[in-house]
Structure 1
Amino acid sequence: MTQLSIQAHDLSVRFKDRLLFHVPQLILGPQDAVYLTGDNGVGKTTLLKVLSGLQKPTTGTINLAKHSFLRRLFCAQSNSGVVYMHQTPYMFDGSILDNVCYGLKFSVGNRRHRRTEAINALRMVGLETLADEHISVLSGGERQRVAMARAWVLKPGVLLMDESSASLDPESIERLVVLCKDLIERGTSLVITSHQKNALTDLCRRQWTISDSKLIERADLQLVDEDKNTYAYA
């Protein structure tokens, strides 16, 4: 796995005359886990898309500490090991297994090895018995679990999760937690958006909040008294 860090400078996005956000500096290091919060419409999804390379910022630069491969898959971009998980993940017309295996077509290994990796990932999200079923049989929450399995097999340097737990029950969220913990141990850094705290956001030690077009950062998330104002501008 390639360990990555992301640094952004003077990052802003505008829609016509409206400034969505401006971030003077942003740093995401290896094995970071960041909880990204903010009201609806403040630009959380846009920020994730900019960091993934799916959307160009109005101003600013984004630098990755290491560069490896470039590939595109499932309506997201894996650019030097950066994977973006959409809130409503795109699925290909095929089996559940095919959807997990798709990204592995670009990696080293024979077909049997890729199938073994994909089955193992589906087992970890509780869907291995449905591996050969058509993707259309799955619910929205099950599709998110497939998307997580698909991301996990790629072992990305950075995983950006956009409301990935929104349609999941607590048991399903715990399955995602297991995969995320494994990725963090391997060196992956995470940015997670969620409208409410849960077992997935509990993995995070840092918090970014977009408010009044600014990014506010709080470090040591689990060690700070929730009742105290300990915010600092990033």
Structure 2
Amino acid sequence: MTIRITADNLSMRFNDRVLFHIPHLSLGPKESVYLRGANGVGKTTLLKILSGLQTATTGKINLDQPHWSVRLLGRSGNNQIVYLHQNPFLFDGTVYDNVIYGVKYTAMSKQNKRNMVINALRMVGLETLADEHISVLSGGEKQRVAMARAWVLKPSILLMDEPSASVDQESIDLLVIMAKDLLDRGSSIVVTSHQTNALTEICHRQWTISDAKLIESTPLKVIVSKDKYAPAKAN
């Protein structure tokens, strides 16, 4: 089930510093957002607030469903919000164990769960490594495992924090395949990245955090300027 998330008068303060103040934002089904900004402006903090992993100083998060909660892997009834860390949290076990965790306690049959996991691993090019311990994987491969685990959840909202950092082009391309599939299914996605890449190119909206404000540009058009984090200008 897809959901819409909105926020009003959202702000985050650390001691006397206001990290950001956002009068309003919204994210609906099939929307893809590229979240930009310099280091320390609050991109990760904003994603954690939207996911429910962190509480804002002021403001309110609203969903179009009356009951919701979020976990690291994100699941609550029909409402799902998944937050992918830049350094994915993976369990001490096999690649297969890590991916099936997302659907381990669902009502699906054991065979259906296995089929879904194998399909996810096939999509990220790791099917042959299903029985390998997670420790033998490269950084890019671990990010693919985290994405496969998110994909099997079929989340309504996927928040991706620097997913392309320190990964190879093959991994980025495979993450794009899964992200596009989720968008086609009605999910919405927010991607943070310090530079444009194949993942940011699938985004149709842009949020830029600058001077404690959230600036939105749509449709997305990245403009190269002296300030590499200057907001893009719409056509």
- The corresponding residue for 1:195 is 194
- The corresponding residue for 2:205 is 206
Contact map agreement 1:155 1:183 (CA 8 A) in 2: yes
1:113: Cα distance to partner? Answer: 1.1
1:98-143 per-residue CA deviation (whole Å, 9 max, x = no partner) reads 0000010232301221111111101111111010111111111111
Contact map agreement 1:206 1:220 (CA 8 A) in 2: yes
AA aligned to 1:135 is: I
Q: Provide closer, same or farther for how the CA distance between residues 207 and 123 of structure 1 changes in structure 2, counting only shifts above 3 A.
A: same
CA distance in 2, matches of 1:161, 1:29: 16
Q: Provide closer, same or farther for how the CA distance between residues 38 and 230 of structure 1 changes in structure 2, counting only shifts above 3 A.
A: closer
Task: State the Cα RMSD in Å.
Answer: 2.0
1:180 counterpart SS class: helix
60-69 vs 164-173, greater mean Cα deviation: 60-69
1:130-158 per-residue CA deviation (whole Å, 9 max, x = no partner) reads 10111111111111000010011110000
1:77: Cα distance to partner? Answer: 3.8
CA distance in 1, matches of 2:180, 2:73: 22
Unaligned 5+ segments in structure 1 are: none
Q: Provide closer, same or farther for how the CA distance between residues 229 and 121 of structure 1 changes in structure 2, counting only shifts above 3 A.
A: closer
Unaligned 5+ segments in structure 2 are: none
TM-score, structure 2 normalization = 0.91
86-95 vs 163-172, greater mean Cα deviation: 163-172
- How many percent identity over aligned positions? 61
AA aligned to 2:122 is: R
- The corresponding residue for 1:27 is 26
2:114 counterpart SS class: helix
- The corresponding residue for 1:83 is 82
206-215 vs 109-118, greater mean Cα deviation: 109-118
Q: Provide closer, same or farther for how the CA distance between residues 93 and 225 of structure 1 changes in structure 2, counting only shifts above 3 A.
A: closer
- The corresponding residue for 1:160 is 159
Question: Where in structure 2 are the equivalents of 1:112-131 lying within 5 Å?
Answer: 112-131=111-130
CA distance in 2, matches of 1:78, 1:213: 31
Q: Provide closer, same or farther for how the CA distance between residues 180 and 153 of structure 1 changes in structure 2, counting only shifts above 3 A.
A: same
Contact map agreement 2:217 2:231 (CA 8 A) in 1: no
Contact map agreement 1:54 1:76 (CA 8 A) in 2: no
Contact map agreement 1:53 1:77 (CA 8 A) in 2: no
1:85: Cα distance to partner? Answer: 0.3
Q: Provide closer, same or farther for how the CA distance between residues 219 and 81 of structure 1 changes in structure 2, counting only shifts above 3 A.
A: same
AA aligned to 1:66 is: Q
- The corresponding residue for 2:65 is 66
CA distance in 1, matches of 2:32, 2:223: 19
AA aligned to 1:131 is: A
Contact map agreement 2:7 2:25 (CA 8 A) in 1: yes
- The corresponding residue for 1:107 is 106
Contact map agreement 1:78 1:84 (CA 8 A) in 2: no
Structure 1 or 2: larger strand share? 1
